[in-house]
Amino acid sequence: MRINKFLAEQGVASRRASDKLIAEGRVTLNGKTAKPGDDVRPTDSVAVDGKLLSHAVSYEYYLLNKPKGCVCTVSDDKGRKTVMDFLPAGAGRVFPVGRLDYETEGLLILTNDGDLAYRLTAPQSEIPKTYLVRIEGTIGDALLNRLRAGVEIEKGVVTKKCRISVVKTDKTYTKLQVVLTEGKNREIRRMFEAVGKHIDFLKRLKIGDLTLRGLDRGAVRKLSREEVYYLKNL
Phi, psi at 38, each rounded to 5°: -60, 145
**Which among 20, 154, 130 is positioned nearest to 74, based on CA atoms?**
20
- Select from 86, 82, 39, 79 the least CA-distant residue to 62: 86
Taking the C-alpha atoms of residue 63 and residue 215, their distance in angstroms, rounded to an integer, is 9
Three-state SS for 85-111 is: HHCCCCCCCCEECCCCCCCCEEEEEEE
Residue 144 to residue 141: CA distance in whole angstroms:
5
- For the chain, the distance separating the N- and C-terminal CA atoms, rounded to the nearest angstrom, is 24
Q: 145: how many CB neighbours lie within 10 A of its CB?
A: 10
Active site amino acids: 101
